[in-house]
Structure 1
């Protein structure tokens, strides 16, 4: 799996066009996955389901993402990665059409399951594909571009979805995404070079077998603690701002938009620092996120303070996936696709666990308990990372 041979076959312009196409695909995935959150009530009403049932239909994509991320490297081991990624984009397109046309709760569930397959497959292969497209020294920069697509969707999907939903209806919102994803599918086919993989190189490996490597086991533990802590807090920002800061819908939208826009700065900053400070960042970022989370509890009653802290939180949080993707490109260099699958499974599981834990604490105690628990998980992840020695592969 030689990056050098790939580079000699295609121009630098095509390489970065391919990276841009993948960034667009990442943005469409994030938008498709999280857009329903802002449309949950009308979806539930239209399909004659409870809001809780509609929420289950949304979360089912995470379960299918976990399963897909663990098996896709071996299932697609002999297939051209260009065709696999385009096929996953095609599944996303099909999912959006089915969601827009869903006339029953069951159809919505099936469509979300298809989207979960795309989410698990794309993110499992993304880092390995970037490693094959660009020279090793450009990998952090390319990953930064990829996660810029993530930041764009995180910033704008929810507010745009909420607004358009009131104008053209929730089905219209998903129909509006269909032509954009179709264009992205064509772009992937045009810009990505052929990338055939031999099973012996990576795809035949069992992702779970990588846990036998001590540095991978420690890394996955740190990943799960980091993302569980982050999403335990992130999932319940709305009730926090409503009860602590006492904001209405307009100010809440401003806070969430500011948090999302700050992700651009976090992504750029991580890309700039990560080359020489990777392990420092892996340890420092969750600590910084925990500190900001804890400061929110006493300071969150002021809108101005809450806004500044939300921006800081968004910037730090956006840097975390860039850092861990860069670790993957270095720590599991010989099995990047299997490693990517394992990381995606770990992240998706931790997101579900973090959201569930946060909700339980919120229901039985308070939003403060949710934030304290999330901060504790983030600090534990930093302890696991330590100096970074545990995360370095054995020589």
Structure 2
């Protein structure tokens, strides 16, 4: 059995570009991101009422978030091969249908088992949607518009995070936690309708068996790039997960100051995401390198100078949000540059690595928080991010490596 092991050229088998960019369809993807991410993080703001209503502990209710992340990791890896014969329009709309069913299952759930089942369904939709989103954006817009399209799609993340944290808790107190999930269901229905109206037919372009994931990972520079992306997200979530304890313990902030700082963080994150699109068209390597370096420096400044002034602490946290806003867009843009011919499989790998980073960053940060306090967690985050910046500077490619003649002729018997 012969199998050619080679690195595709930048244009080989790359997705065909649209004659005109389909921005309406891009907006529908942004809505998909918004509705999925908002549903993912709603339990964090509704934990107590959910636990009381279902007669479970808050720790058990918190598994609703963990379950979704773990299933999303697996879904992101498998979706490309499992749906390789289906039109991408149908697959994306199918994920919106699953999201609707997931939120309705949570709304009607009488116990923990049904709650977790609904969250498993959400994980399937979340991981699958993330895996396909970057490759879909490449098919919807012209090549030079891809960074801006990704920037628009990723605006759904900070808006959803703010909505889940602020509106989720407010509406939960006002209407009850089940009705918040009913509202999330309505948002998912709107998303599905917009997708039906705007997404064009996108037949699968080439077979994508499961082993394609391995083929992509062994390409020169791809594995180290995925690792670097995962470590950047790990450093971020080690920081972000324990931001409130830092404000409470080190900055001596009250609840209103904490809320204001988190809102400023979210708005800065949104701004960074929006600004990243045009910047990345010409400065991809600089962005990949400078954002974790800036975040690492901010973490160390907070470790050494934190607590001197609430205003300076809040300013540095806001600047972190601005810097991180460009990170998801930058790594998705990197993917479109170096793995254009296998963007779906690479998107699944990147999405899975981010889900793993979320769990790892929070877990390692939690261990350090218990042993060294919040400053120990922030110090770890800063050191990791500076180290990743060095890795990016020395090892991460921003253009596909031209295949050598020897590589083209490697044959597995």
* TM-score (normalizing by structure 1): 0.95
Q: Unaligned regions of 5+ residues in structure 1, if any? A: none
Shift of 1:206: 2.6
Q: Which moved more, 1:380-389 or 1:93-102?
A: 380-389
Q: Deviations over 1:142-197 (max 9, x none)?
A: 00110112221123321111111110111111111111210110111110000001
* Secondary structure, counterpart of 1:26 in structure 2: helix
Distance across 2 between alignment mates of 1:387 and 1:272: 25
1:68 pairs with 2:75: yes
Instruction: Give the equivalent residue in structure 1 for 2:271.
Output: 265
1:127 pairs with 2:134: yes
Instruction: Give the equivalent residue in structure 2 for 1:90.
Output: 97
1:195 pairs with 2:202: yes
Distance across 1 between alignment mates of 2:294 and 2:125: 32
Q: Unaligned regions of 5+ residues in structure 2, if any? A: 1-12, 403-413
Structure-to-structure mapping, 1:184-333, within 5 angstroms: 184-200=191-207, 202=208, 206-301=212-307, 302-333=309-340
**Contact 1:155–1:259 (Cα < 8 Å) also in 2:** no
**Contact 1:216–1:391 (Cα < 8 Å) also in 2:** no
Residues 318 and 176 of structure 1: is their aligned pair in 2 closer, same or farther, counting only changes over 3 Å? same
Q: Which moved more, 1:344-353 or 1:384-393?
A: 384-393
Instruction: Give the equivalent residue in structure 2 for 1:7.
Output: 18
Distance across 1 between alignment mates of 2:259 and 2:108: 28
Instruction: Give the equivalent residue in structure 1 for 2:60.
Output: 53
Q: Which moved more, 1:58-67 or 1:378-387?
A: 378-387
**Contact 1:3–1:134 (Cα < 8 Å) also in 2:** no
Distance across 1 between alignment mates of 2:249 and 2:164: 24
Distance across 1 between alignment mates of 2:168 and 2:254: 18
* Secondary structure, counterpart of 1:365 in structure 2: helix
**Contact 2:134–2:347 (Cα < 8 Å) also in 1:** yes
* Secondary structure, counterpart of 1:307 in structure 2: helix
Instruction: Give the equivalent residue in structure 2 for 1:107.
Output: 114
Instruction: Give the equivalent residue in structure 2 for 1:35.
Output: 42
**Contact 1:227–1:350 (Cα < 8 Å) also in 2:** yes
Instruction: Give the equivalent residue in structure 2 for 1:372.
Output: 379
Equivalenced residue count is: 389
Q: Which moved more, 1:251-260 or 1:206-215?
A: 206-215
Higher RCO, 1 or 2 (CA under 8 Å, sep at least 6)?
Answer: 2
Where has structure 1 moved over 6 Å in runs of 4 or more? none
* Secondary structure, counterpart of 1:77 in structure 2: coil
Q: Deviations over 1:334-387 (max 9, x none)?
A: 100000001011111111111100001111221011111111111121111115
**Contact 2:14–2:340 (Cα < 8 Å) also in 1:** no
Shift of 1:96: 0.7
Instruction: Give the equivalent residue in structure 2 for 1:16.
Output: 23
Distance across 2 between alignment mates of 1:42 and 1:356: 24
Q: Deviations over 1:239-285 (max 9, x none)?
A: 11111112222221111111000012211222121111101111111
Shift of 1:7: 2.6
Residues 203 and 151 of structure 1: is their aligned pair in 2 closer, same or farther, counting only changes over 3 Å? farther
Distance across 1 between alignment mates of 2:214 and 2:157: 26
**Contact 1:125–1:341 (Cα < 8 Å) also in 2:** yes
**Contact 2:338–2:398 (Cα < 8 Å) also in 1:** yes
Distance across 1 between alignment mates of 2:240 and 2:192: 31
Q: Deviations over 1:118-159 (max 9, x none)?
A: 110000000000000001000001001101122211233211
Shift of 1:389: 5.4
Instruction: Give the equivalent residue in structure 1 for 2:145.
Output: 138
1:385 pairs with 2:385: no
Residues 257 and 89 of structure 1: is their aligned pair in 2 closer, same or farther, counting only changes over 3 Å? same
* TM-score (normalizing by structure 2): 0.91
Shift of 1:203: 6.0
Q: Which moved more, 1:339-348 or 1:209-218?
A: 209-218
**Contact 1:203–1:337 (Cα < 8 Å) also in 2:** no
**Contact 1:93–1:178 (Cα < 8 Å) also in 2:** yes
